[in-house]
Structure 1
Amino acid sequence: MKIALILMASGFGRRFGGHKLEILVHGRPLYTYGMKSLCQAAQAFLPCSGIDCQVTVVTAHAAIASACRDQGIDVVWNDQAGEGMAASLRCAVEACHDAGAWAFFPADQPLLTSETVTDFLRQFLASGAPLGCMHNGERRCSPAIFRRIYGPELLRLHGDTGGRQFLRSPQTWVYRPKKTDELFDIDYQKDLIFLNKQGLK
């Protein structure tokens, strides 16, 4: 089985007030923290599971696409990014059409560790559920994972809601990380104050 680990890096940071994914956090662009965690998780997962995890970055930003390609990471160009989250999901599913499951990770969650990603994937597979997501202590949220059966429905999505509608299903398996701070995302400028106090790797 192949799991596509998708880093969602197409956003324009409207609530943030500008393109946020390339802002420097402790000397590194914001998106690179999530990318590093996914790459480490993919490398760690295969030996212990026999399941192939492949990292793909979906983006509409030339600098991010170029930097990822330079590191040998697959890139999918999202030319409909202005539509919202659904366009990124469709791009990923179409590009990774041979995957048995698609796992979607926001590029603005720099505290999410590779260990948590690996545990999330392992427990999801063991659950047998058709879809799953994480829980931040208040609500169900991204990252989220969908088995192949959801492919047609993901391809029919439009707008900026993404796959959130599916996560309310009673079939959804829910994962609660040991440290909910790992799911902290950067939406507003003020969020950088909290982030800059954290020890990032």
Structure 2
Amino acid sequence: MITGIIMASGFSKRMNKDKLTLSIGEELVIEKVIKAAKESKLDEIILVYQKEQIRDIGIKYNIKTIFNPCPEKGQSESMKLGIKASDLKSRAFMFIVGDQPLLNYKTINLLIDTFNNNDNEIVVPVYREEKGSPTLFSSKLKDKLLEVEGDKGGRKIIQEMPNSVKLLSIEDFRVGLDIDTWDEYQQLIEMGMKK
């Protein structure tokens, strides 16, 4: 069993508005991410939220929703809440950011297949030579993940355990793009139309 944890409780500080509820085509950014996860081989999907609107979208797609009471603690708090809410039989956790709207189920499945077919405890996608999201961690690293602090997510563990990391090159770099600014949002809209 592999659990997908969608981290959707950030503040969108650089955007000055909730980027997860912006539209790309006929769907919201967070909806596109949820749909990619639902269409994939993930066995369990958990949405970590701070706003009711995001929770309601999760409920609409029939996925488990977990409230984050301390989003100011950064991405690590979403990770921990998701891990604690996951099925005890889960062999791995995939951490998915909520603002990566061009992510697709094929990329998620590729990460899962890579994990299943290798001995590596961590799988990280690489887009244009840059490490990105989503990342997949074996549940053997659960204790380490629960110790992570701040907004760095699992990056510290990836840096500390290079021999346990399988880097997976993703052909279509657009899949790895996330939204932090209005300009990035506009560019993603254009790219989404060309897909």
Asked whether the two chains share a fold, i.e. TM above 0.5, the reply is yes
Structure 2 match to 1:113: 104
Secondary structure at 2:132 match in 1:
strand
Structure 1 match to 2:46: 56
TM-score, structure 1 length as denominator? 0.89
1:187 paired residue among 177, 180, 189: 180
> Once superposed, which parts of structure 1, at least 4 consecutive aligned residues long, lie more than 3 Å away?
none
Secondary structure at 1:152 match in 2:
helix
Secondary structure at 1:174 match in 2:
strand
Q: Deviations for 1:126-185, whole angstroms, at most 9, x for unmatched residues?
A: 112111111122322221111111111111112111111122232211111121111011
Aligned amino acid, residue 23 of structure 1: L
Aligned-pair CA distance for 1:113? 1.1
Count of residue pairs brought into register by the alignment = 191
TM-score, structure 2 length as denominator? 0.92
CA distance in 2, matches of 1:28, 1:134: 25
Secondary structure at 1:15 match in 2:
coil
* 2:144 aligned with 1:144: no
2:73 paired residue among 83, 86, 96: 83
Structure 2 match to 1:48: none
CA distance in 2, matches of 1:124, 1:179: 20
Instruction: Tell me if the contact between 2:11 and 2:18 (Cα under 8 Å) persists in the aligned partners.
Output: yes
Aligned pairs for 1:10-89 within 5 A: 10-41=9-40, 45=41, 53-89=43-79
Aligned-pair CA distance for 1:84? 0.5
- The unaligned stretches of length 5 or more in structure 2 are none
Q: Give the alignment's Cα RMSD to 1 decimal.
A: 1.5
Aligned amino acid, residue 69 of structure 2: D
Percent of aligned positions that are identical:
24
- The unaligned stretches of length 5 or more in structure 1 are 46-51
Secondary structure at 1:68 match in 2:
helix
* 2:188 aligned with 1:198: no
